[in-house]
Chains A and B, each alone.
Chain A
Amino acid sequence: MTSSFITVEQTSKSFHKEAIFQNLSFTLNKGDILSIVGPSGSGKTTLLRCLAGLESFSTGTFVINDKDVTALEANKRPVSLVFQHPLLFPHMTIQENVAYGLTFQGRKKKERLRLAQELINQVGLAGYEKSFPYELSGGQQQRVSLARSLAISPDLLLLDEPFSSLDVRLRNEMRTWVRQLLKDQEITAIFVTHDKEEAMQMGDYVGVFENGQFQQIGEPEHVYHSPSNAFVADFFGDHLIVDQETFIPVQSLFLSKTKPKQVASVWKGVMKNKLHVHGHTLYQIFIEDLHQHVTVSSSIRLNTHERIYVSAHPDSVQTFINSQQRNG
């Protein structure tokens, strides 16, 4: 992320003196997808609204393709936003919905309809041009919404939890499909979600957002395996957080009914729940000393509320990136 098709520099936003986010900076190359993931209320939607121009930044600059768009209003920015709900105009046909934004670009009706048709084909809804939104399923409606946002050829596409109203199966299908479409068309996008799996699946980069700050930005795999702090480890990774400086990846933990000898890191736990995923048995263990739940794969048979030992080899204890930098 060194080149800068998109540059967001030192941006902040406050409402009535209360800071929503502060000194945010990041850059994106053309065609990059950044997933912003964080818990509800962390300020990520406000950030998206500021990028779209629906709210103004309190400070900082926002540059797209070497043009400073910070002061531009929403309708003048080369940015479009796909909302949580499809928000299709119920009284317009699918074709009219997709062509809607093109009317503001002064294009002739014939051209508008041709472009809309191309996009309808791309999102796999050929044959639905004359249908009305209520005749489409939730997933199809969200695809129309995406087509409508893409129709105006934005330099930056923002997506605000667009799959949250869909059922789990459809959501999975849509993730793969939308990512492919964005990649095929080399569209620069920022995708906001509170679901870490969705963030990993959709983004070339993931930004973990909390308290109005990026706690860490990087490639999904890197953020997952090498969290910068305890929050990222807890929210984004599957790790046992030993203290504010160290953690143990969950795959390095093992369970035993008796206390293992010659292992330094051992904790007592209680089995709370059992899951079966991809042919593996996963146990949710509560470790009282660390006041944490951890989900560990194991072949031993355990009953609910059974006492158990959770242990790890000392070599597997890792230090958070931030702590390494501080100490290094």
Chain B
Amino acid sequence: MKLSETNKAWVLLTPALLFLSLPAYGLFSAIWTSLHENGSFTTKHYRVLFQQEAFWESVGYSVRITLIATVLSLLLGLLLTRAFTSIIQSTKGKLSIWLPMLFPHFVWGYIVLLLFEQSGLISHSLVEMGLISSTSSFPIMTNDQNGIGIILTYVGKETPFVVLMLLPIYAKQQTGYKDLVQTLGGGKWAAFKDAEWPWVFPVLLEAGIILFAFILSAYEVPFLLGATFPEMISVLTYDWFYSGDWNERPLAFASMIITSILIGIVSFIAFSAMNRKRMLLTKGQD
């Protein structure tokens, strides 16, 4: 029996769909639990959730930390790729820039803790060098309310990822466009704005969405390096889920659904804004 093109596509998609069925089941199960109580439909959990000050504080804090870490990673990744494209393309360069990618987030977080906590390696070294009088003079950079430790960990881990995403763009970038801008009267800024940024921006945005979604909802780094208050949304949700009070479990589901919706909205806006431009750029490379 010969399969039609449509059927063939479905057969090829099956493994991916089977794999996706796991998170999809989790998501629908969470939606179901967050909208039911004692077997009947209710929006009560959401109403309770929206009245919790801790929830709003956590959302604000999480979005702030996420945005700062994402923007810093993108910026650093862009600067590194621009400056060192040829070096990064060599094996040594690739190894050195992608080394942090080999460590799990938790391990990287632990390294940050060992280095940057008040009684950490850097603080002790500064005392030894006589630059600060005691370790307590070292600024609090881990488990702090500003989330510096969390941001440091994410920037260290995600910058190589941004480089990985941007490298193909810079490696095959046509210098012709920059020459063209110059011969038409444009300076360095115009060359960047018109001959580089249009190709870089969609990739940067895509990397940004991935980082935003990941950092906003990841648990282990804020658990290790976060303060007791405010907590990032993932930590708060985890606390609710495993707290002794069973009434808080639907709240945990509801808050994760809200997080997912937030990520969904951000991704939708970004992709819709970029899709046409990306199509034009892809076609332009024929």
A residues lining the B interface (CB < 8 Å) = 49, 52-54, 73-76, 79-81, 83, 85, 87-91, 100-101, 104-105, 132-134, 148-149, 152
Cross-interface CB contact of A91 among B176, B185, B277, cutoff 8 Å: B277
Please state if B184 and A104 are interface contacts (CB–CB under 8 Å).
Answer: yes
Query: What's the Cα separation between A75 and B184 when bound, in Å?
Result: 6
Cross-interface CB contact of A81 among B183, B281, B284, cutoff 8 Å: B183
Please state if A134 and B284 are interface contacts (CB–CB under 8 Å).
Answer: yes
Query: What's the Cα separation between A79 and B183 when bound, in Å?
Result: 7
B residues lining the A interface (CB < 8 Å) = 174, 176-177, 179-187, 190, 194, 198, 277, 280-281, 283-286
Query: What's the Cα separation between A100 and B185 when bound, in Å?
Result: 10
Chain B's closest residue to A90 (CB) is B284
Please state if B185 and A83 are interface contacts (CB–CB under 8 Å).
Answer: no
Please state if B280 and A101 are interface contacts (CB–CB under 8 Å).
Answer: no
> Shortest Cβ distance from B170 into chain A, in angstroms?
18
> Shortest Cβ distance from B201 into chain A, in angstroms?
10
Q: 24 A–B contact pairs at CB < 8 A?
A: A53-B182, A75-B185, A79-B183, A80-B184, A81-B183, A83-B176, A87-B174, A88-B284, A89-B284, A90-B281, A90-B283, A91-B277, A91-B281, A100-B184, A101-B184, A101-B185, A104-B184, A104-B187, A132-B280, A134-B280, A134-B286, A148-B184, A149-B183, A152-B184
Q: Which residues of B contact A101 (CB under 8 A)?
A: 184-186
Q: Which residues of A contact B181 (CB under 8 A)?
A: 75
Known pairs A52-B179, A87-B177 / 15 extra A-B pairs, C-beta < 8 Å: A54-B182, A73-B182, A74-B183, A75-B181, A83-B176, A83-B179, A88-B284, A89-B177, A90-B281, A90-B283, A91-B277, A91-B280, A100-B194, A101-B184, A133-B284
Query: What's the Cα separation between A88 and B181 when bound, in Å?
Result: 11
Interface SS of chain B: helix
Please state if A89 and B198 are interface contacts (CB–CB under 8 Å).
Answer: yes
Q: Which residues of A contact B286 (CB under 8 A)?
A: 134
Q: Which residues of B contact A75 (CB under 8 A)?
A: 181-187
> Shortest Cβ distance from B23 into chain A, in angstroms?
34
State whether A91 and B183 are in contact (beta carbons under 8 Å apart), knowing that A85-B176, A104-B190 are contacts in the complex: no
Q: Which residues of A contact B198 (CB under 8 A)?
A: 89, 91
Query: What's the Cα separation between A85 and B179 when bound, in Å?
Result: 12
Please state if A104 and B185 are interface contacts (CB–CB under 8 Å).
Answer: yes
Query: What's the Cα separation between A38 and B242 when bound, in Å?
Result: 78
Q: Which residues of A contact B176 (CB under 8 A)?
A: 83, 85, 87
State whether A81 and B179 are in contact (beta carbons under 8 Å apart), knowing that A75-B185, A75-B187, A90-B285 are contacts in the complex: yes
Query: What's the Cα separation between A83 and B184 when bound, in Å?
Result: 12
Q: Which residues of A contact B283 (CB under 8 A)?
A: 90, 132, 134
> Shortest Cβ distance from A136 into chain B, in angstroms?
11
- In the complex, the 5 A-B pairs of residues with the closest C-beta atoms, listed nearest first: A90-B284, A104-B185, A101-B184, A134-B283, A74-B182
> Shortest Cβ distance from B194 into chain A, in angstroms?
7
> Shortest Cβ distance from A270 into chain B, in angstroms?
45
> Shortest Cβ distance from B169 into chain A, in angstroms?
14
> Shortest Cβ distance from B274 into chain A, in angstroms?
11
Q: Which residues of B contact A90 (CB under 8 A)?
A: 280-281, 283-285
Chain A's closest residue to B184 (CB) is A101
Query: What's the Cα separation between A149 and B286 when bound, in Å?
Result: 22
